[in-house]
Amino acid sequence: MTVLSTPAGSGFGPANLPYGVYSATPDGPRRCATRVGDTVVDLAIALAPTLPEATRWFATDALNEFMAAGYDAWARVRELLTEAVLSPLPDEALFPAAEVTMHLPCRIADYVDFYASEHHASNLGRLFRPDVADPLLPNWKHLPVGYHGRSSTIVVSGVDIVRPCGQRKGPADAAPVFGPSTRLDIEAELGFLVGVGNAMGTPIPVEEAERHLFGAVIFNDWSARDIQAWEYQPLGPNLGKSFASSISPWVVPMAALATAKCPVPGQDPIPLDYLRMAAPWTLDVALEVEWNGQLVSRPPYAQMYWSPAQMLAHTTVNGAATRTGDLFASGTVSGPERDQRGAFIELTWGGAEPISVGGQDRTFLVDGDRVTIRASAPGVGGARIEFGEVTATVLPARG
């Protein structure tokens, strides 16, 4: 039996207790876990003495059954888990975090990506519509704009990304051409996992959204800007986005983020009734973007215009059903300063203003580039809540 200790400064203390799926060897059986400091804790073993459902919920390769158990079950498990990690634990439940393989934390059911940062939307409006006085489209402050993505290409951190091919048409091209994207980009975002969905035809009210939200992950919405620019009118992003999205392996519970709640910067005009909240909230999550090991941006999630609760309410207001494992992402997180922009198309102003990476002027991603996004939030007593990281290397196009 071992009593765990948390290294000073670790963002994986008892106030966090994220959920994930690990295997002790790369091809070994997958099981559900939490993390304390630098130790991965097998949940089925750790909670077996106190939780009758421990084996059914956690001796499995995905968190879906536990997520589907609902808000009260999540609260009960968090209470039991807090007690367990402060007590002696069986040695067979403990694994060094550096020695395990992490996997997708759940089976992703469906995926929607939003566009919830006013700074990001305004920057892209100025880039794409420089002659228009208002960079925001008329609907943007009335509803959380989003598109329906492809859940089958959501991968966990560490899975490398193959450069996508597709149609593109540059200003000098007489006709579209086909080939590898030459303007490959990232989008630093947060993703939110639905634990309990809603029946078709029965929307989730904005004030009940938190009972449906299981937790949050870091999300990288890889984007082929040249493919996207040619295809997106009139129906929006498709192949320029659907080739890959990456998430961090640890799901930070919404309960752990309670101390990170903060007001949205301000919503004007007042949203329609189904989106109206007495105190619309966002999260004080600080993101960091590294390009080949160099820190190039610090996007602040606290600057987001639309709340996660409003995004979920909007997703279902037409009667659309959600399911356990549904994921919706926030859209690129950007702040007012240049070094707070969460996409390279913004950071380099469409490629017109390169930044120095490793001593070279860079605009978009080249083969071999490695991107890492990290995130953290304030916890109890001044501690930090760490999300871990999502990282991947760009591989050459195939075919």
Six-digit token pair at 130? 């420089």
Six-digit token pair at 217? 């992950």
Catalytic residue selected from 120, 142, 148, 212: 120
Q: What is the DSSP letter of 28?
A: S
120 is catalytic: yes
- Could you tell me if 130 and 122 are in contact, meaning their C-beta atoms sit under 8 angstroms apart? no
Residues 6+ apart with CB under 8 A from 179: 165, 168, 397
End-to-end, the C-alpha distance of the chain in Å comes to: 53
Residues 6+ apart with CB under 8 A from 221: 113, 186, 187, 189, 241, 245, 329, 331, 332
Six-digit token pair at 376? 């953290």
HSE on the CB side for 78, CA within 13 Å?
20
Six-digit token pair at 369? 């580039």
Longest distance between any two alpha carbons in the chain, whole Å = 71
Buried/exposed 275-309: b ≥16 CB within 10 Å, e otherwise:
bebeebbbbbbbbbbbbbeeebbbbbbbbbbbbbb
What's the CA gap between 101 and 158, in Å, rounded?
10
Task: Reduce the DSSP state of residue 224 to 3 states and report it.
Answer: strand
Residues 6+ apart with CB under 8 A from 149: 111, 112, 113, 237, 241, 242, 245
Residues 6+ apart with CB under 8 A from 173: none
The structure tokens 């029965």 sit at 202
- Could you tell me if 373 and 189 are in contact, meaning their C-beta atoms sit under 8 angstroms apart? no
What's the CA gap between 310 and 207, in Å, rounded?
9
What's the CA gap between 168 and 240, in Å, rounded?
10
- Residues marked active site are found at 120
